[in-house]
Amino acid sequence: MSTSAPELMTPGKGRGLLDVFRNRYLLRLVVDKEIQIRYRGTVLGLLWSYLKPAVQFGVFYIAMGIFLELNKGLENYAIYLFSGIVLINFFGEIFGNSSRSITDNGGLLKKIYLPRQLFPVSNLFVALVHFVPQLLILLIACLASGWHPNFKQFLCMIAGCVIVAVFALGLGMIFATFNVFFRDAENFVDMIMMVATWASPVLYLFTMVQEKMPAWFYYIYFANPLTVAVELFHYGFWLPSTELWQHWHVPAHLMTIWTPVALLIAFGTLFLGDFLFRRYEGNFAQEL
Amino acid sequence: MTTIPFKKPGVTFSEETVAIRSDHMSKWFTLRHTRSIKEAVMWIAKGRKGDLSEKFKALDDVSFDIHDGETVALLGFNGSGKSTTLKMISGVMHPDEGYVGTRRKVAGLIEVGAGFHPDLTGRDNVYLNGAILGMDKAEIDSKFDDIVAFSEIGEFIDTEVKFYSSGMYLRLAFAVAIHTDPEVFLVDEILSVGDEPFQKKCISRIKDLVRRGKTLVVVSHDLDLIMDICERGIVLEHGKIVYDGPSVGAVAKLRDRPAADVQREQNERVERRLYWKRDERRKAAEEAAAKGEKYVPEYDPELDDPADLDDPTKVKRTKGL
Ligand SMILES: Nc1ncnc2c1ncn2[C@@H]1O[C@H](COP(=O)(O)OP(=O)(O)O)[C@@H](O)[C@H]1O
Ligand SMILES: [Mg+2]
């Protein structure tokens, strides 16, 4: 008996993320399922995806804008705040749900082979279902306050979305893998999500980091793809809605250096996530 | 030579017809799963002495070739590694040593209802599970009515599955699985689904697959049934193959009886069953003739050639049977 007869294939050896796009129909069904289950038995259904950010926005606006008087120094602070919140929520939803997706679907993964990348990736699409309506609200708010973006700003918005989506999925796949072997990983995920809002200029201005912290910290701060993405959103949504054009509103080298760096880190993270996931997915079924 | 009278003869044993090959496959499992990062860090800090967790060998040097058209039973006591072997073949797990390869599209009825979600309706679950088992939308669309008819779920199809009785749930899950059309079927202890009439239907479906020459790998504790549908049996004991040969011999080994006796009893059983089935048909035909009607028997894979289904005067197949 020779070890490999011609054309024999090893079962369950996937091609990573590529497999997901070969199974688009299944992906769609899994996304539909996730959305249906999320809102089962709720009276408000998808409305929750508007209500939650609205409350979050209200709380931050009162605490930061009014109590800490950030809206006095900053024109259209509401838009500044909301564009960051929308993006960070997008990150949190993809990252949080995809890092739990493998352990949550353990029952199925143990029994039937299917491309397991499907589960983290499906959460990206589920998050889009919530992200897009929020983005629309943001657009309406911008239009109401005299938004006049140019093409470059438009590109920045798209870049911001791509950075967050790719980075969050990559991190999600890394932690989904860890989660199978060490359940402690879930606590890390919670911690990262808590820090994410404060580790990027969602509530405050990046210039505060520049003023208060040493130079090296500023570089680390901008090496965080979320910081860059949030600033890209500020550039795309908030800046064109303001009258005053003060040059410090845009970080130096945002588009020339930091955006390519962030894209690189985001895709690097996804690559690492896919690699780790593929490296260990063969053990998922027996460890779950 | 086949021991199953109705099975399509002529399995070719050659390198080209290997559907599944397992070559010196071994698998270890850890006995204790709960671990924290703290324990792992301590273990690395101590210089990785000893094993982080105890291991045992669930499959030990398992080798076999399964060819196109073979029907193979995996037999053995609980915990002997049958399900693990099927999981290796389906790709859910990978061997730690050795090799497993497949040439054909393999699908598992490994555990019915694995992909069912209680909060989705029966209809949504049919689509989701059909897709999980490898069907595309057009395929599920075209088989949907058959699946519902087979499951006898009726108007409950648009009810959430959590409101189903456990029998209904399993029936629908089985109906989806049996309507997938893989080249190799893996069946793990699911032939005891639902009530007796439904079980008969399921077994008849499996026999239909056998008759049509599908490749099957079956795990079941019903040894009589095994002899009815499988010509070959592989007996596992603590993860090792202790027998690989005709299924009658495997059953004889498990029952600890002479193979000749088991074979004789099996032949008698099959003959008796076929006799009663034919007798029933004869009576039904006479009854119909007395009423002046034409009798068309229901398709039975043990009696009829599937090719006869093309001729509606010879044999018929009622939807959902
Ligand atoms: N994921 C797992 N982790 C640890 N042990 C396992 C795992 N899966 C199966 N086992 C063990 O492997 C042995 C063989 O299991 P299995 O193949 O399910 O047996 P069976 O022949 O009853 O189907 C059993 O002792 C079982 O407890
Ligand atoms: Mg088993």
Supply the DSSP string of A208-260, one letter for each residue.
HHHHHS-HHHHHHHHHSHHHHHHHHHIIIIIGGG-S---GGGS-TTIIIIIHH
**Are the C-beta atoms of residues A172 and A273 closer than 8 Å to each other?**
yes
**Are the C-beta atoms of residues B59 and B84 closer than 8 Å to each other?**
yes
Q: What is the CA radius of gyration of chain B?
A: 22
Question: Which of B62, B83, B218, B240 to mutate for ligand 1's pocket (most ligand atoms within 8 Å of CB)?
Answer: B83
pLDDT of B191: 67
Tell the residue nearest (CA) to atom 25 of ligand 1: B79
Determine the distance in angstroms separating the CA of A126 from the nearest CA of chain B, rounded to an integer.
16
Q: DSSP for B52-88?
A: SS-EEEEEEEEEEEEETT-EEEEE-STTSSHHHHHHH
Query: Tokens standing for A217?
Result: 């910290």
pLDDT of A119: 93
Residue in this structure with the two tokens 């962030």, named with its chain if needed: A262
Cβ separation of B119 and A32 shorter than 8 Å? no
Rounded CA-CA distance B38/B43 in Å is 9
pLDDT of A1: 44
Q: Is the pLDDT of residue A108 over 60?
A: yes
Q: How confident is the model at residue B82 (pLDDT cuts 50, 70, 90)?
A: very high
B120 φ, ψ (degrees, to nearest 5): -95, 155
Determine the distance in angstroms separating the CA of A88 from the nearest CA of chain B, rounded to an integer.
28
- pLDDT tens profile B115-154: 888 888 999 999 999 998 888 999 999 999 999 999 988 8
The answer to whether residue A254 sits within a structural domain is: yes
User: Which ligand number lies closest to the CA of residue B32?
Assistant: 1
Of A100, A119, A247, whose CA–CA distance to A180 is shortest?
A: A100
The answer to whether residue A27 sits within a structural domain is: yes
Phi-psi region of B293 (alpha: psi -120 to 50; beta: other; left: phi over 0): beta
pLDDT-wise least confident of A161-175, B32-46, B185-199, B301-315: B32-46
- pLDDT tens profile A155-179: 999 999 999 999 999 999 999 999 9
Rounded CA-CA distance A101/A115 in Å is 13
Chain B partners within 8 Å of A182 (Cβ): 35-37, 40
Determine the distance in angstroms separating the CA of B90 from the nearest CA of chain A, rounded to an integer.
6
Determine the distance in angstroms separating the CA of A90 from the nearest CA of chain B, rounded to an integer.
25
Mean pLDDT along residues B166-183 = 86
Closest ligand 1 atom to residue A286 Cα is 1
Angle (nearest 5°) at CA A226 between A221 and A227? 40
The answer to whether residue A13 sits within a structural domain is: no
Mean pLDDT along residues B146-175 = 89
Closest ligand 1 atom to residue B78 Cα is 22
Chain B: residues touching A (Cβ < 8 Å)? 15, 18, 21, 23, 29-30, 33, 35-38, 40, 63, 65, 87-94, 99-103, 106, 108, 110-111, 114-115, 117, 119-120, 124, 127-128, 131-133, 136-137
Query: How many domains does the structure of chain A reveal?
Result: 1
Of A172, A125, A200, A188, whose CA–CA distance to A269 is shortest?
A: A172
Query: Tokens standing for B28?
Result: 């270890």
Tell the residue nearest (CA) to atom 13 of ligand 1: B79
Rounded CA-CA distance B231/B6 in Å is 11
Q: Tell me the helices (H) and strands (E) count for chain A, helix number first.
A: 14, 0
**Are the C-beta atoms of residues B115 and B129 closer than 8 Å to each other?**
yes
**Are the C-beta atoms of residues B97 and B25 closer than 8 Å to each other?**
yes
Determine the distance in angstroms separating the CA of B3 from the nearest CA of chain A, rounded to an integer.
26
B55-67: strand order across its sheet: B55-67, B18-30, B97-102
The answer to whether residue A2 sits within a structural domain is: no
Residue in this structure with the two tokens 């949550």, named with its chain if needed: A104
User: Which ligand number lies closest to the CA of residue B77?
Assistant: 1
Rounded CA-CA distance A79/A71 in Å is 10
Q: Is the pLDDT of residue A195 over 80?
A: yes
**Are the C-beta atoms of residues B244 and B64 closer than 8 Å to each other?**
yes
Q: How confident is the model at residue B52 (pLDDT cuts 50, 70, 90)?
A: low
- pLDDT tens profile B189-230: 776 667 888 888 888 888 888 888 889 999 988 899 999 999
Ligand 1 pocket, CB under 6 A: A 286; B 29, 58, 76, 78-84
User: Which ligand number lies closest to the CA of residue B78?
Assistant: 1
Query: B114: CA distance to ligand 2 center in Å?
Result: 14
Residue in this structure with the two tokens 């369950």, named with its chain if needed: A12
Which of A15, A19, A29 is the best substitution to test chain B (most B C-beta atoms within 10 A)? A29
Rounded CA-CA distance B287/B302 in Å is 23
Question: Which of B80, B84, B234 to mutate for ligand 1's pocket (most ligand atoms within 8 Å of CB)?
Answer: B84
Secondary structure of residue A11 in the 3-state scheme: coil
Which of B24, B29, B35, B37 is the best substitution to test chain A (most A C-beta atoms within 10 A)? B37
Of A8, A192, A29, whose CA–CA distance to A96 is shortest?
A: A192
pLDDT of B297: 86
Q: How many CA atoms lie within 13 A of A158 on its CB side?
A: 7
Mean pLDDT along residues A112-123 = 91
Q: What percent of chain A has pLDDT over 70?
A: 95
pLDDT of B33: 56
Could you say which of B23, B106, B119 has the minimum Cβ distance to residue A40? B119
Q: What percent of chain A has pLDDT over 90?
A: 41
pLDDT of A9: 82
Chain B partners within 8 Å of A37 (Cβ): 117, 119-120
Query: Tokens standing for B302?
Result: 């043990």
pLDDT of A246: 62
User: Which ligand number lies closest to the CA of residue B110?
Assistant: 2
Q: How confident is the model at residue A25 (pLDDT cuts 50, 70, 90)?
A: very high
Query: B61: CA distance to ligand 1 center in Å?
Result: 16
Rounded CA-CA distance B319/B144 in Å is 12
Spell out the domains of chain B, with CATH numbers in brackets: 16-43+61-255 (3.40.50.300), 258-321 (no CATH)
CA-to-CA dists, residue B14 to A1, A17, B24, B67, B207, angstroms: 11, 36, 19, 8, 25
Q: Is the pLDDT of residue A224 over 80?
A: yes
CA-to-CA dists, residue A12 to A5, B222, B253, angstroms: 18, 30, 33
- Touching check for A72 and chain B: CB below 8 Å? no
pLDDT of B118: 87
pLDDT of B122: 93
Secondary structure of residue B210 in the 3-state scheme: helix
pLDDT of A247: 55
The answer to whether residue A197 sits within a structural domain is: yes
Residues 6+ apart with CB under 8 A from B296: B312, B313, B314, B315, B316
Query: B86: CA distance to ligand 2 center in Å?
Result: 9
Rounded CA-CA distance B149/A52 in Å is 44
Closest ligand 1 atom to residue B59 Cα is 14
pLDDT of A220: 92
Rounded CA-CA distance B26/A147 in Å is 65
DSSP H/E element including B242: strand B240-246
B240-246: strand order across its sheet: B106-109, B184-188, B215-219, B71-75, B232-237, B240-246
pLDDT-wise least confident of A62-71, A171-180, A216-225: A62-71
Q: What's the first-to-final CA gap in chain A, in angstroms?
A: 34
B235 φ, ψ (degrees, to nearest 5): -100, 125
Of A264, A249, A266, A269, whose CA–CA distance to A153 is shortest?
A: A249
Rounded CA-CA distance A166/A155 in Å is 16
Boundaries of domain holding A156: 18-287
Closest ligand 1 atom to residue B82 Cα is 21
pLDDT of B230: 92
Rounded CA-CA distance A45/A70 in Å is 34
Q: How confident is the model at residue A37 (pLDDT cuts 50, 70, 90)?
A: confident
Mean pLDDT along residues A209-213 = 86
CA-to-CA dists, residue A218 to A221, A257, A260, angstroms: 5, 14, 17
